[in-house]
């Protein structure tokens, strides 16, 4: 008997949620055959079999969240795994956590905490569920994530019944937003850019990308990272622009690398490729990290201004509202002009109001440049 543990998925990821199993207990698999699809913070990853053999046990079910190193699959027989090609651990089976030794003459009155995987114990801790009072529905009485969620729902007030725990992308988003709320001191400035003079065929997103890159060059304090614990900041020489993308699964923010040194055609190709990867859920985890500043073009859906959320260690996010014709005063006359509303939210711990205003002024000047 050998045990295959959830492998290191790279990029500092610590846990993954089981999406679907491609095998069942009793199946015979060959090395490199897909075993299971798991979801990390933002991507779905296929994990292959490290060896050939018969599946003796699946250590979790769809919806369970496992940490790196947790047991994933037990093999009953087969060829030894190739240690040079498998990232996770495959080793001789140790006593299963569900097979805890019980003292002679004594039996627990309720399912033991040891009958739950570490990820399930962590979930129970977050939901305030006491595992000793949960009956396990898994093999051998194992307590599953579904058991914990069911127990949590049973203790909710009547008006909160029916709540479902967040999964995958939405869980990651919730954690990031909570962290941002706890750490950042946000302030927002707004203004409109007059784009009435834009020539036909302009690409608003690419104009915004260029404007942000030029504003970062003029006011580098907004293209920075800030660490609240050490009260220190770092200016980033390269503009790695996060582009907020709304999907049915939740919010993705892939990165347009080196946005200040690429031409418009290259940036557009890069953005289209990121959108396609996000839609297919194949975007590499590395392309969802390292943003130095973020752009949210929420006006493509609706809205004029917004107080946006900054995810640390970034210190700024620019929001673009809905482009529309609006009545403005020009030379003492009321005229109709095409305008683009802008909202700049910044972390006031690291950025002054003057720096933010100058940044926004540079963005507007670039957007209003007629060509």
Q: What is the pLDDT of residues 333-364, one digit of tens each?
A: 999 999 999 999 999 999 999 999 999 999 99
The contacts found for 177-184 with CB under 8 angstroms, 24 or more apart, are 177/309, 179/311, 179/312, 180/309, 180/310, 180/311, 180/312, 181/309, 183/228, 183/312, 184/309, 184/310, 184/312, 184/347, 184/349
Q: Are residues 19 and 140 in the same domain?
A: no
**Could you tell me if 119 and 18 are in contact, meaning their C-beta atoms sit under 8 angstroms apart?**
no
Q: Are residues 261 and 337 in the same domain?
A: yes
Q: Are residues 74 and 102 in the same domain?
A: no
CATH for 29: 2.40.50.100
Please tell me what DSSP assigns to residue 152.
H
CATH for 121: 4.10.320.10
Predicted confidence (pLDDT) per residue in 214-240, tens digit = 999 999 999 999 999 999 999 999 999
Per-residue CA distances from 256 to 183, 228, 238 (Å):
25, 26, 11
- pLDDT at position 45 is 83
Residue 264 in this model has a pLDDT that exceeds 90: yes
Q: What is the pTM of this model?
A: 0.70
Q: Are residues 197 and 270 in the same domain?
A: yes
What is the rounded average pLDDT for all residues in the chain?
Answer: 85
Per-residue CA distances from 160 to 138, 157, 195, 238 (Å):
27, 5, 47, 46
163 vs 49, which has greater pLDDT?
49
Among 94, 127, 152, the domain-final residue is 94
Q: Are residues 115 and 260 in the same domain?
A: no
Q: Are residues 126 and 207 in the same domain?
A: no
**Residue 89 banded pLDDT, cuts 50, 70, 90:** low
What value does the CA radius of gyration of the chain take, rounded to a whole number of Å? 26
Among 61, 94, 127, the domain-final residue is 94
63 vs 86, which has greater pLDDT?
63
200 vs 276, which has greater pLDDT?
276
Residue 117 in this model has a pLDDT that exceeds 80: no
Residue 159 in this model has a pLDDT that exceeds 80: no
- For the chain, give the percent of residues with pLDDT over 70: 85
Predicted confidence (pLDDT) per residue in 277-316, tens digit = 999 888 888 898 999 999 999 999 999 999 999 999 999 9
The 3 state secondary structure assigned to 274-324 is HHHHHHHCCCCHHHHCCCCEEEECHHHCCCCCCCCCCCCCECEEEEECCCE
Beta pairing, strands 241-243 & 293-296: parallel
Q: Are residues 61 and 196 in the same domain?
A: no
> Of 111-115, 164-168, 263-267, which gets the smallest average pLDDT?
111-115
Q: Which domain holds residue 338?
A: 172-368
Q: Are residues 81 and 119 in the same domain?
A: no
Q: Are residues 178 and 47 in the same domain?
A: no
Q: Are residues 159 and 237 in the same domain?
A: no
> Of 13-22, 183-192, 246-255, which gets the smallest average pLDDT?
13-22
Q: Are residues 122 and 155 in the same domain?
A: yes
Among 58, 77, 94, the domain-final residue is 94
Q: Are residues 107 and 60 in the same domain?
A: no
Torsion of CA 42, 258, 203, 190, to 10 degrees: 80
- The pLDDT of 160-171, averaged and rounded, is 75
- The pLDDT of 145-151, averaged and rounded, is 79
- pLDDT at position 163 is 73
131 vs 184, which has greater pLDDT?
184
Q: How many domains does the chain have?
A: 3
């Amino acid at each position: 008997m050998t045990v295959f543990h959830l492998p290191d998925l790279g990029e500092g990821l610590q846990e993954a949620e089981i999406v679907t199993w491609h095998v069942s207990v009793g199946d015979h698999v060959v090395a490199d055959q897909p075993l299971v699809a798991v979801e990390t913070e933002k991507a779905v990853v296929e994990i292959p079999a490290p060896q050939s053999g018969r599946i003796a046990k699946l250590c979790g079910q769809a919806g369970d969240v496992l940490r790196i190193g947790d047991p994933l699959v037990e093999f009953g027989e087969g060829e030894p795994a190739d240690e040079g090609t498998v990232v996770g651990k495959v080793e001789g089976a140790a006593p299963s956590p569900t097979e805890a030794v019980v003292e002679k003459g004594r039996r627990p009155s309720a399912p033991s905490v040891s009958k739950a995987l570490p990820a399930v114990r962590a979930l129970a801790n977050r939901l305030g569920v006491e595992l000793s009072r949960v009956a396990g529905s898994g093999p051998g009485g194992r307590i599953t994530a579904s058991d914990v969620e069911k127990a949590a729902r049973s203790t909710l007030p009547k008006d909160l019944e029916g709540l479902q725990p967040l999964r995958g992308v939405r869980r990651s988003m919730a954690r990031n937003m909570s962290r941002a709320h706890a750490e950042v001191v946000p302030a927002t400035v707004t203004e409109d850019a007059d784009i009435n003079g834009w020539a036909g065929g302009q690409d608003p997103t690419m104009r915004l990308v260029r404007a942000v890159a030029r504003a970062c060059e003029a006011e580098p304090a907004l293209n920075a990272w800030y660490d609240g614990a050490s009260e220190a900041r770092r200016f980033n020489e390269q503009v790695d622009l996060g582009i907020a993308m709304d999907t049915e699964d939740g919010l993705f923010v892939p990165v347009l690398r080196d946005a200040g040194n690429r031409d418009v055609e290259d940036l557009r190709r890069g953005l289209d490729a990121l959108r396609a990867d996000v839609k297919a859920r194949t975007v590499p985890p590395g392309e969802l990290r390292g943003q130095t500043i973020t752009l949210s073009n929420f006006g493509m859906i609706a809205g004029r201004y917004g107080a946006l959320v900054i995810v640390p260690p970034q210190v700024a996010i620019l929001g673009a509202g809905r482009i529309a014709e609006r009545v403005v005063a020009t030379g003492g006359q009321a005229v109709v002009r095409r305008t683009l509303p802008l909202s700049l939210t910044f972390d006031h711990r690291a950025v002054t109001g003057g720096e933010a205003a100058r940044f926004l002024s540079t963005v507007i000047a670039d957007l209003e440049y007629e060509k």
